[in-house]
Chain A
Amino acid sequence: MSAGSVYDQLQRENKRASRFLLIGSVLIAAVMVWVVAGAMGVPVLDPVIGVSVTAVGTAVGLLFVLAAARSGPSIALRAAKAREVPREEAPELHNLFDEVCVAAGIMGTKPKLYVVDDPAPNAFATGRSLEDSHVVVTTGLIERLPRYELRAVLAHEVAHILNDDIRTVTLAVATAGLVALLADVMVRFMILGGGRRGGRSSGGGGGGGAQALFLLLGVFAMILAPLAAQVIRFAVSRQREYLADATAADLLRDPQSMVNALRRIDSDHTNLREFEVATAHLWFEEPNDTDPGHGRAAKMARRFATHPSIRERVERLATLNAGTVRTDAPLPPPPPPESRGYQ
């Protein structure tokens, strides 16, 4: 199989994963709506009422959450303390970014370029569409990576935009938010409604039994649903990292620089000074180092990791570009401290 068809295959898988992610999280949200409605005493076991209440409830909830998610990118930028960087301030960075954009054919709709003051080498992309997209790099990345490796990381971020990951992830986060919200509603309902319900159920008949059952279901859902939503979200975001690496290497026809950049960043253990768990999945590398051990805690941490291990990413890239990439060669020296004219 040629590199091109492997790449097409990956892209198809990415699209399928996007659908799976969206359908899966909407289903979880729908089940939550159903359970919450049931616990509140709505006769959801009746097929007509059950289906219509669940459908309408989920649709309204999603609409609200999506409306809120429209401001997601600007919140992410603010949380990371990113500021837009003009060309005069970092001419080389802009040159490299132009090289990536021209190869991607998006010179007409170039994403905005931002910098975060942070010594940890990292980067992320966010936005609602190609026309409204943002690429963020840390000053640590600019200072530590040689020219072509820095370009490879920029290409990885642009790849997230090209592959429509930024929108999918925003939607996924929004749906996970809805599930969390519903779980919260459930908790409040149980605490506040508990006393009142006691009085009412003495007068009620069989409805009380069903409601009790739903309350029990609600307890389970409350615990499990947010967890399930997170697991889906993380599994799918890991898959995206592989594809973005591959897309970036393919765009620039320079897989070696991508591999080198990954290896260099792997050997660097500076953690980001400021990051929110909510935006962890956005970054190029997991913002805080996870324990690479074999203990139960380490395994659990990896299950909830937003990114695959860098070693795994390097291996996949090397397989995809078999014969043209070296993963054991010594890395080229980092740039001299003052060379970027930027601190």
Chain B
Amino acid sequence: MLWFALVLLLLLVGIVGWVVAGYNRLVRSRVRIDEAWAQIDTQLQRRHDLIPNLVNTVKGYAAHERETFEEVTAARAKAISVQGPADLAEAENGLTQALGKLLAITENYPELKADQNFRQLQEELAHTENMVAGARGHYNASVRDYDTARKVFPTSVIAGMFNFEDREYFEVETVEVRQAPNVSFE
């Protein structure tokens, strides 16, 4: 009888320990996602801050390309206003495309391309795009880890018990969008 109670107690302790460990693992992986998201936020902020400067510099050499400037400015305003990974990713894609157009235009203005200020902005923008891409990659990897822990048995049981919610990926859909930032900066 005593033995039976002891075994039962051990089993109970084992189960509680296992639940605690699984729960902690899920929480840690969720915290990592939040940290990764904060990093994306920082990098996007940086990108948004660069754009007015870039537009103004290009304006100085190519004033009549007003349509493109407006497009970039509108895309930036939209990217600043939206929230949540899926919507934000879409808005940022729009911004990337508008920026791509702007940079394509600069190809036609040799004086602009020789402008020291513009070249510095270009390096700064290339760096920022890489930072965004890196932060995005890390965020998606963190979501993938969390998702795996949530769905794979046995942690899936704990995830169900404590209601660990779904997290969205930060996607970049098209291949062109992926490549756009890198083309003109090397």
Residues of A within 8 A of B (CB): 92, 95, 98-100, 102-105, 107-108, 146-148, 251-253, 332
Contact = CB atoms under 8 A, between A and B. Distances in A.
Interface of B: 32, 35-36, 39, 43, 123, 127, 130-131, 133-135, 137-138, 141-142, 186
A148 B186 contact: yes
Contact of B135 (A102, A146, A148, A253): A102
Contacts of A100: 134
What's the dominant secondary structure at chain B's contact region? helix
B15 to A, nearest CB: 27
Contacts of B35: 105, 108
Contacts of B135: 102-103
A103 B137 contact: yes
Contacts of A95: 127
B186 A103 contact: no
A103 B127 contact: no
B186 A252 contact: no
B137 A99 contact: no
A315 to B, nearest CB: 26
Interface centre among B32, B36, B123, B138 (most CB of A within 10 A): B138
Contact of B134 (A103, A146, A147): A103
Given A102-B39, A105-B35, A252 B134 contact: yes
A102 B138 contact: yes
Nearest to B144: A4
A-B complex: 3 closest residue pairs judged by Cβ atoms: A103-B134, A102-B134, A105-B138
A95 B36 CA distance: 19
Contacts of A104: 138
B186 A102 contact: no
Contacts of A105: 32, 35-36, 39, 138, 141-142
Contacts of A147: 186
A130 to B, nearest CB: 14
Interface centre among B32, B35, B123, B131 (most CB of A within 10 A): B131
Contacts of A332: 186
